[in-house]
Chain A
Amino acid sequence: MTEMRYRVVKPALAEASPSEKDTAPVMQAIDIQHRYGDAEILRGISFALHPGEKVVLLGCNGSGKSTLLKILNGLIQPTAGHFMYQNEPITPKRLRTPELHRRFRHEVALLFQNPDAMLFNPTVFDEIAFGPRQLGLQDVSDRVNHWAEQVGVSRHLSRPPFSLSGGEKQKVCLAALLALDPKVLLLDEPTAALDPRSTGWLIDFLSGLGITILTTTHNLSLAPELGNRALVLGEDHSLIYDGPIQTLLADMERLAAANLVHTHRHRHGNIEHRHTHVHDWQ
Chain B
Amino acid sequence: MNPDRVRLIAYLAAVLAVSIIHQPLWLALGLGLTLLAGGREAGSILRRAIRAVLLFNLLISLSYLVMAWLHAVSPWQMLLRLNLRVLLLTSLTFLFIARVNLFRALDFSRNLTYVLGLAYSQSLTFRRAHDDFRLALASRSLRRPGLRDRYRASAAAISWFIEKSLHAANQSAQALRSRGFFHD
- A–B contact at 8 Å CB threshold (below): yes
Give chain A's interface residues, CB within 8 Å of chain B. Answer: 38, 70, 73, 75-76, 98, 101-102, 105-106, 109-110, 112-114, 116-122, 130-131, 134-135, 162, 176-177
Question: Once the chains are docked, how many angstroms separate the CA of A218 from the CA of B137?
Answer: 26
Question: Once the chains are docked, how many angstroms separate the CA of A101 from the CA of B160?
Answer: 28
Residues of A within 8 A of B149 (CB): 120, 130
Contact with A along B36-74 (1 / 0, CB 8 A): 000000001000000000000000000000000000000
Residues of B within 8 A of A121 (CB): 152
Interface residue from A73, A116, A134 paired with B139 (Cβ < 8 Å): A73
Q: Please, which residue of chain B has its CB at the minimum distance from the CB of A130? A: B140
Q: Which of B124-139 contact A (CB under 8 A)?
A: 129, 132-133, 135-139
Task: Evaluate whether A105 and B142 lie within 8 angstroms (CB atoms) in the complex, with A38-B44, A112-B136, A120-B137 already known.
Answer: yes
For the complex formed, measure the closest distance between the CB of B124 and the CB atoms of chain A, giving whole angstroms: 13
Q: Which of B10-41 contact A (CB under 8 A)?
A: none
Task: Tell me whether chain B's interface is mostly helix, strand or loop, or mixed.
Answer: helix
Residues of A within 8 A of B141 (CB): 105, 134
Contact with A along B145-174 (1 / 0, CB 8 A): 000010011011101100000000000000
Residues of A within 8 A of B157 (CB): 120
Residues of B within 8 A of A117 (CB): 129, 132-133, 135-136
Question: Once the chains are docked, how many angstroms separate the CA of A205 from the CA of B75?
Answer: 69
Interface residue from A70, A102, A116, A135 paired with B135 (Cβ < 8 Å): A70
Interface residue from B132, B143, B152, B156 paired with A134 (Cβ < 8 Å): B143
Task: Evaluate whether A162 and B159 lie within 8 angstroms (CB atoms) in the complex, with A105-B141, A134-B142 already known.
Answer: yes
Question: Once the chains are docked, how many angstroms separate the CA of A135 from the CA of B129?
Answer: 28
Question: Once the chains are docked, how many angstroms separate the CA of A132 from the CA of B154?
Answer: 21
Residues of A within 8 A of B160 (CB): 116
Do B136 and A118 touch across chains, with their CB atoms under 8 A apart?
A: yes
For the complex formed, measure the closest distance between the CB of B154 and the CB atoms of chain A, giving whole angstroms: 8
Task: Evaluate whether A131 and B142 lie within 8 angstroms (CB atoms) in the complex, with A120-B153, A122-B152 already known.
Answer: yes
Q: Please, which residue of chain A has its CB at the minimum distance from the CB of B159? A: A162
Give chain B's interface residues, CB within 8 Å of chain A. Answer: 44, 129, 132-133, 135-143, 149, 152-153, 155-157, 159-160
Q: Please, which residue of chain B has its CB at the minimum distance from the CB of A102? A: B142
Question: Once the chains are docked, how many angstroms separate the CA of A102 from the CA of B143?
Answer: 6
Question: Once the chains are docked, how many angstroms separate the CA of A103 from the CA of B143?
Answer: 10
Do B153 and A105 touch across chains, with their CB atoms under 8 A apart?
A: no
Question: Once the chains are docked, how many angstroms separate the CA of A119 from the CA of B142?
Answer: 16
Q: Please, which residue of chain B has its CB at the minimum distance from the CB of A122? A: B152
For the complex formed, measure the closest distance between the CB of A179 and the CB atoms of chain B, giving whole angstroms: 11
For the complex formed, measure the closest distance between the CB of A116 and the CB atoms of chain B, giving whole angstroms: 6
Question: Once the chains are docked, how many angstroms separate the CA of A76 from the CA of B111?
Answer: 39
Question: Once the chains are docked, how many angstroms separate the CA of A134 from the CA of B137?
Answer: 13
Do B44 and A120 touch across chains, with their CB atoms under 8 A apart?
A: no
Question: Once the chains are docked, how many angstroms separate the CA of A76 from the CA of B152?
Answer: 23
For the complex formed, measure the closest distance between the CB of A101 and the CB atoms of chain B, giving whole angstroms: 7
Do A101 and B142 touch across chains, with their CB atoms under 8 A apart?
A: yes
Residues of A within 8 A of B153 (CB): 120
Do B142 and A162 touch across chains, with their CB atoms under 8 A apart?
A: no
For the complex formed, measure the closest distance between the CB of A17 and the CB atoms of chain B, giving whole angstroms: 31
Question: Once the chains are docked, how many angstroms separate the CA of A145 from the CA of B177?
Answer: 49
Q: Please, which residue of chain B has its CB at the minimum distance from the CB of A135? A: B142
Q: A110-B139, A120-B137, A134-B143 are in contact. List 12 more A-B contacts (CB 8 A).
A: A101-B142, A105-B141, A105-B142, A112-B135, A116-B160, A118-B140, A120-B153, A120-B157, A130-B140, A134-B141, A162-B156, A177-B140
29 A-B pairs whose Cβ atoms sit less than 8 Å apart in the complex = A70-B135, A102-B143, A105-B140, A105-B141, A106-B142, A109-B140, A110-B139, A112-B132, A112-B136, A112-B139, A114-B129, A117-B129, A117-B132, A117-B135, A118-B136, A118-B140, A119-B156, A120-B137, A120-B152, A120-B153, A120-B156, A120-B157, A121-B152, A122-B152, A130-B149, A131-B140, A134-B143, A176-B140, A177-B140
